[in-house]
């Protein structure tokens, strides 16, 4: 589903208008728009009859959701202890340099968002970089260009 085809009534119908499907619906919206636009959350609120404040609480609780516009591709660099000692800060610096943004920001062309995370639970293969859910193991600054070119 892409952002233009996003229809909240159709989406809610897919989940039988069940309030307990809120997270799944938010995931679908996040996937389509790369973030959760305020006006779309308003529609979800009306359609599922859930107060907007409750939806925003859920959206801010889970790190997978963003209330700010995000890039088409999400780059996440692990800077947890194990990855840190293997050079993750240099890898993160290199991504910042190549993308021309700081961690937590999105490129002007909305292509990439860059974030860091404390540990992804796969320390043995660090430094780990995840792009759109794809794991890149034992990364170094030399891999940054190669990884970005894939996307
Ligand atoms: S510290 Fe990076 S995966 Fe655990």
User: Looking at ligand 1, which residue's alpha carbon is closest to its atom 3?
Assistant: 123
Q: pTM for the full model?
A: 0.77
Q: Any residues with Cβ below 6 Å from ligand 1, and which?
A: 78, 80-83, 119-123, 126, 128
CA of 7 to the centre of ligand 1 (A): 38
- Partnered with residue 77 across adjacent β-strands are 116, 129
Segment 96-126, tens digit of pLDDT: 999 999 999 999 999 999 999 999 999 999 9
pLDDT at 6: 83
pLDDT at 63: 82
pLDDT at 3: 63
Cβ contacts of residue 50 below 8 Å, gap of 6+?
A: 19, 22, 44
CATH 3.40.30.10 range(s) for the chain read: 73-150
Q: Enumerate residue ranges in the chain where pLDDT < 70.
A: 1-4
CA dihedral over 51, 54, 60, 65, signed as positive or negative: negative
Q: What does each C-alpha distance from 108 to 71, 98, 128 come to in angstroms?
A: 9, 13, 25
Write out the CATH class of domain 73-150.
Answer: alpha beta
């Amino acid at each position: 589903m892409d952002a233009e085809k996003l229809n909240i009534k159709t989406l809610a119908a897919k989940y039988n208008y069940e309030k307990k499907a809120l997270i799944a619906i938010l995931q679908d919206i996040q996937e389509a728009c790369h973030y959760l636009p305020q006006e779309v959350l308003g529609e979800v609120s009306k359609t599922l009859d859930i107060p907007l404040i409750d939806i925003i609480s859920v959206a801010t609780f889970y790190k997978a959701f963003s209330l700010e516009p995000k890039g088409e591709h999400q780059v996440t660099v692990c800077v947890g202890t194990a990855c840190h000692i293997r050079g993750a800060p240099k890898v993160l610096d290199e991504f910042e340099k190549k993308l021309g943004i700081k961690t937590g920001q999105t490129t002007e062309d909305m292509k990439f968002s860059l974030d860091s995370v404390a540990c992804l639970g796969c320390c043995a293969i660090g430094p780990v970089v995840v792009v759109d859910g794809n794991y890149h193991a034992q990364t170094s600054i030399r891999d940054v260009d190669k990884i970005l070119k894939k996307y």
